[in-house]
């Protein structure tokens, strides 16, 4: 498989640069690692680069095939056909019928729609979720539990952020005994620490206790083979920009056994459920990116797991006191690192940005959150840590990982870092 390396830049002012291996780095005179001319992008859980293949599939719909899918003449009809083909591709990848797939604008919209539908249309009288869900679930659950006066319960977690299935079962049992019908909303793969959910097991519990089950699968769709026909799940959400598709397009899977009211009114699009002219090129790009991801899954997941393992090993070897958040065998695209707090670690994200290394402290949507990430706060024993989330894609290389760890070594070496007691 051909790996695309970040292209090397022709340096205009060589006197300001030094060569490190094959890579030119800007020399700022304050250490051996200055800003790289091209960023090293290790924030693929925030978003991913659009793949050239997805772009190519989208191009006709950004140019000559511009017809409105609701128009009756041929250039309209052909875009309608393209949307329905894309729906079939997505449905095939998830092992479900095309009629159960609704295109939306993003994962956040899909999560909002699933939760609202469950409480408004499906008679859910309580919500069970976890403290480490994305805010697109947590804030929505909080909002509707207030609006509909529903109890909202948080399932317990272990120290790696994996849900406690016995606690979930106990909550479901208690709620059934109290005559409540819960909505369970639990994510398949955590975007900050990579903990994974046994979706089959939760599905079985929900079936046993008469609950509606929604899973935010934004970090899992296209990263794992998911066959929904084998799972007891009512709703799942996914988002195109997390797997080299375009931004601004998501899907909501709605189990065909459910009858829910329209999400958006004002037109007959998406079988009268979500009005509004379709994001045709987005939908085409979503389907193409998902198709490619599933075709390349075996090789890509092995390759990306290798990068994650390399980063983990190098950090353990070179950064004293480093720890990791989340399970060792978690989501293979994410490595959440807990660096011992020091005078330098506070400014680590800024220094990495200045050095051209893109990473985040947590979820991109909450990067301005006061008091740090709600996910890290929900884990036990994370005081005294500076958390950095590295997240990988097939476009990353081992050289980028080595460069990044070398940079971290130079910043966090005890003599520079001034480790706090
Ligand atoms: N859920 C999870 C787990 C996510 O990681 C994200 C994005 O970071 C979202 C939901 C929101 O998706 P979108 O950006 O498509 O609204």
Given 206, 358, 365, 385, which residue is catalytic? 365
The per-residue pLDDT for range 16-61, each reduced to its tens digit, is 334 444 343 443 333 344 444 469 999 999 999 999 999 999 999 9
- Strand boundaries in 56-193, DSSP class E: 101-104, 126-129, 152-154, 182-185
The per-residue pLDDT for range 125-149, each reduced to its tens digit, is 999 999 999 999 999 999 999 999 9
Q: Is the CB of 365 under 6 A from ligand 1?
A: yes
Asked whether residue 214 carries a pLDDT value surpassing 70, the answer given is: yes
Greater confidence (382 vs 59) lies with 59
| Structure-block tokens of residue 304 | 């990306």
Which atom of ligand 1 is closest in space to residue 247's alpha carbon? 15
Q: Is the CB of 215 under 6 A from ligand 1?
A: no
Q: What is the CA radius of gyration of the chain?
A: 23
Residues 6+ apart with CB under 8 A from 130: 154, 155, 157, 163, 186, 187
Q: What is the maximal distance between C-alpha atoms in the chain?
A: 74
Element (H, E) at 391: strand 385-391
Q: Whose CA is nearest to atom 8 of ligand 1?
A: 46
The per-residue pLDDT for range 69-128, each reduced to its tens digit, is 999 999 999 999 999 999 999 999 999 999 999 999 999 999 999 999 999 999 999 999
- Helix segments in 225-335, DSSP class H: 280-295, 297-318
Is 365 an active-site residue?
Answer: yes
Whole-structure pTM value: 0.90
* 91 three-state secondary structure: helix
- Ligand 1 pocket test: pick from 45, 161, 191 the residue with the most ligand atoms within 8 Å of its Cβ: 191
Which atom of ligand 1 is closest in space to residue 187's alpha carbon? 3
Asked whether residue 360 carries a pLDDT value surpassing 70, the answer given is: yes
28 Cα to the center of ligand 1, angstroms:
36
């Amino acid at each position: 498989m051909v790996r695309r390396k970040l292209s090397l830049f022709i340096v205009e002012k060589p006197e300001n640069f030094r060569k490190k291996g094959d890579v030119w780095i800007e020399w700022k005179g304050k250490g051996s690692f200055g800003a790289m001319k091209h960023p090293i992008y290790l924030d693929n859980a925030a978003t991913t680069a659009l793949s050239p293949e997805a772009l190519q599939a989208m191009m006709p719909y950004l140019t000559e095939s511009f017809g409105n899918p609701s128009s009756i003449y041929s250039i309209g009809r052909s875009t309608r056909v393209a949307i329905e083909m894309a729906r079939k591709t997505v449905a095939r990848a998830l092992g479900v019928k095309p009629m159960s797939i609704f295109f939306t604008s993003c994962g956040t919209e899909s999560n909002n729609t699933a939760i609202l539908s469950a409480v408004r249309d499906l008679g859910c009288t309580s919500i069970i979720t976890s403290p480490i869900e994305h805010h697109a679930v947590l804030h929505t659950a909080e909002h509707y539990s207030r609006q509909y006066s529903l109890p909202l319960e948080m399932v317990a977690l272990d120290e790696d952020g994996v849900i406690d299935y016995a606690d979930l079962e106990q909550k479901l049992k208690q709620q059934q005994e109290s005559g409540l019908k819960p909505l369970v909303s639990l994510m398949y793969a955590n975007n900050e620490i990579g903990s994974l959910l046994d979706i089959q097991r939760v599905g079985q519990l929900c079936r046993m206790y008469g609950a509606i089950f929604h899973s935010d699968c934004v970090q899992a769709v296209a990263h794992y083979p998911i066959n929904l026909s084998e799972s007891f799940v009512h709703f799942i959400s996914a988002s195109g920009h997390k797997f080299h598709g375009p931004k601004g397009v998501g899907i909501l899977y709605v189990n065909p056994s459910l009858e829910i009211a329209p999400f958006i009114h004002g037109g007959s699009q998406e079988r009268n459920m979500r009005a509004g002219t379709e994001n045709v090129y987005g939908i085409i790009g979503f389907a193409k990116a998902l198709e490619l991801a599933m075709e390349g899954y075996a090789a890509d997941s092995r390759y990306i797991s290798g990068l994650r393992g390399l980063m983990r090993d190098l950090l353990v070897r070179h950064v004293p006191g480093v720890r990791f958040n989340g399970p060792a065998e978690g989501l293979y695209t994410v490595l959440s690192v807990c660096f011992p707090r020091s005078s330098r670690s506070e400014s680590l994200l800024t220094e990495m940005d200045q050095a051209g290394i893109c990473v985040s402290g947590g979820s991109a949507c909450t990067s301005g959150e006061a008091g740090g990430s709600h996910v890290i706060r929900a884990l036990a024993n994370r005081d005294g840590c500076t958390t950095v989330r590295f997240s990988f894609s097939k476009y990353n290389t081992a050289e980028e990982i080595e460069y990044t760890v070398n940079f971290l070594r130079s910043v966090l070496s005890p003599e520079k870092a001034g480790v706090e007691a």
